[in-house]
Structure 1
Amino acid sequence: MILIPVIDLMHGQVVRAVRGDRQSYRPIVSTLCEGSDPVEVARALCAHCDSNRLYAADLDALTGGTAQAEVLRRILQAMPELEFWVDAGFADADAALQLRERIGSEADRVVTIIASESLRSRDELARCFAGRDGGRERGVLSLDRRDGQRLDPAGCWELPQLWPSRVIVMTLERVGADAGPDLATLREVQERSPGTKLVGAGGIRHAADLDAARDAGAYAWLVASALHDGRLPPVRR
Structure 2
Amino acid sequence: MHIIPVIDLMNGIVVHARHGNRQTYQPIQSLLCETAKPGNVINGFLELYPFTTMYIADINRLSANGNNTGTIIQLVEQYPHIQFWVDQGILHHHKYQPPENWLQIIGTESLTDAMLATVRLKPAELILSLDFKQSLIGSSQILEYPEQWPQQVIVMSLNKVGADTGPDWILLQKIKQLAMNSHIVAAGGIRGTSDLIKLSEMGIHRALLASSLHSGKLSGDDLHRLSTG
Q: Give me the TM-score of the superposition, normalised by structure 2.
A: 0.91
Deviates further, 45-54 or 18-27: 45-54
Q: Does 1:181 align with 2:173?
A: no
Assess if the C-alpha contact under 8 Å between 2:161 and 2:189 holds in 1.
yes
Question: What is the identity percentage for the equivalent residue pairs of Structure 1 and Structure 2?
Answer: 34
What is the aligned partner in structure 2 of residue 111 from structure 1? 103
What is the aligned partner in structure 2 of residue 220 from structure 1? 206
C-alpha change, 1:219 and 1:3, in structure 2 (3 Å) is same
C-alpha change, 1:224 and 1:129, in structure 2 (3 Å) is same
What is the aligned partner in structure 2 of residue 139 from structure 1? 126
What is the aligned partner in structure 1 of residue 3 from structure 2? 3
Which runs of 5 or more residues in structure 2 are unaligned?
A: none
Assess if the C-alpha contact under 8 Å between 2:128 and 2:152 holds in 1.
yes
Q: Give me the TM-score of the superposition, normalised by structure 1.
A: 0.88
Deviates further, 26-35 or 70-79: 70-79
SS at match of 2:132: strand
Q: What's the offset of the Cα at 1:74?
A: 1.3
Number of paired residues?
223
What is the aligned partner in structure 1 of residue 67 from structure 2? 67
Q: What's the offset of the Cα at 1:225?
A: 0.4
C-alpha change, 1:156 and 1:79, in structure 2 (3 Å) is same
Instruction: After superposition, give the CA deviation of every residue in 1:68-127 in whole Å (9 maximum; x if it has no partner).
Output: 11100111122120111000111xx4x2xx13x33x4x5332111110111133654663
Instruction: After superposition, give the CA deviation of every residue in 1:141-183 in whole Å (9 maximum; x if it has no partner).
Output: 011111x211123622222021001100111111000010112
What is the aligned partner in structure 2 of residue 150 from structure 1? 136
Q: Could you tell me how far apart the structure 2 residues matched to 1:214 and 1:53 are?
A: 18
